[in-house]
Amino acid sequence: MCLSVTTTATAVASQRLPATPSLPHGYAQYKQLTLRLDPQTHSPCSSQRVAMARKTRLAPIARLPVELLSYIFLLGAHTPDSDRLSEDECDPDQEHNDNISPCLQSSGTSPDVLAAVNRHWREVAIGTPQLWTRICVTIGDVMRGGAPFSVVSRYVSRSGKCPLDIYIDGRDPDWDFSETDSVGAVISPYIDELYDYTHPFRVEHMHHVLNILIPHVRRFRSLAVLTDRWAPMQTALDCLSMEIPAFVSAPRPLPSSLPLLESLVLMRCNEFVSYHSEFSPADQKDPGFLPFSALLRDADDPASEPVLPGLKKLVLSGVHTEWSALPRLLPPPQSPSPSPLETLDMSYHCTEVRPSERDFRALLARCPKLRTLSLRVSGPRSPDSADTCSTAQGASPVPLPHLERVTLGYDDPYAAAAVLDLLAAPGVAQLTLEDAS
């Protein structure tokens, strides 16, 4: 009896349901749906009819193959917005800033937004590791509250084994150009007010975020670190050196080289300190560690791999290092695969921490494919007089056959003349001289 009632109810329901010959592909299971019948009318309940209607009216984008939807996500997240592109064309400074890191060329739509639309989009977004490869850290991550840098951990995890582009911006727009925090400071003897300022991005924040990232250093494709003060930058240099196991969670065993790293940008964004002859803060003028210096232990072995064989861009602005050891990160000139470095930017170094002419020449000699050289209030230490230029000493210029653009922002004309004497670059098409004194 029970079987016959069920059969009858199903037959009645099938007579009341409309024919569905044009259902979209992929819904063959429609006929196998178990219908909840109204006990009085023996027809599908209203909620069931709404659900079936929604299934038959999917948005066109929901019917796309997963591979195509994934590609659309990549274009949407990693392509600059059209209004931003038009602004960049009118603002050369903004275009220069975008060249610091690929992370600054992304759109305003983050992968998190795409993953929050619905369940299907979330599955596609999380299943697209290339979508999570651009990691951007700002003071907003510190001031937002909650678990610090949880976004960084999430992106690193979801990016799988893909190369990473990392941008760490510890700058504060309200920074007062001080190197230490001020609590109850006197603004002026003529103003009866006290002044308080605490920089939101501190040393411990830099240490925390780099300890999340450095275990994945093999996947670094580009790294940009920008700070206001020197202390966070010094912490970044100590972490990147990977010399102190107790200080940074470096991978073990250490990699022999970092072949994926193409761009390294380290910027202390305080131009004013470079115009003093002595470094500030004075007790931290020693460079400490060279980035990735822990990988140089076997660099003297001819059979060892260069640490940064694929580096194409190096920017050191307001950041000094062990200049004598810096060239050893790059392949030697006689290597079968010479360094592909095309852009070298050294800016805003006070006289006390600039490289010697010998170290500067050694660095240029490791860059046979260099195309762009920018020196602003930097370069080799100034000669004592015009008679001490390189050519007067009989030193031959460094051959740079591919060099096309040279920018010299000089604070000493003798230093600028010494730099030009160092270069043998017949292909230079653009020479820019700026009086930066």
In three-state secondary structure terms, 283 is helix
User: Mean pLDDT per segment of 10 residues, for the chain of length 437 residues?
Assistant: 41 43 44 47 58 63 90 90 56 62 86 92 95 94 82 95 97 91 63 76 95 97 97 95 90 92 97 89 85 78 80 96 94 85 95 93 95 94 51 76 95 87 94 90
User: Furthest-apart CA pair in the chain: how many Å?
Assistant: 115
CA 245, distance to chain mean position in Å, is: 24
Instruction: Tell me which amino acid residue 380 is.
Output: P
The model's pTM = 0.81
Dihedral sign, Cα of residue 90, residue 92, residue 97, residue 98: positive
* H-helix segments, 24-132: 46-56, 66-78, 82-90, 92-98, 111-114, 119-126
Q: Count H helices, E strands: the chain?
A: 13, 13
- Rounded CA gap, 4 and 6, in Å? 5
In a 13 Å sphere around the CA of 288, the CA atoms on its Cβ side amount to 21
Q: What is the CA radius of gyration of the chain?
A: 30
Contact 354, 379 (CB under 8 A): yes
Q: What pLDDT is attached to residue 291?
A: 95
Residue 289 has which token pair?
A: 């560690």
Is 284 exposed, middle or buried, given 0-12, 13-18 or 19+ CB atoms closer than 10 A? middle
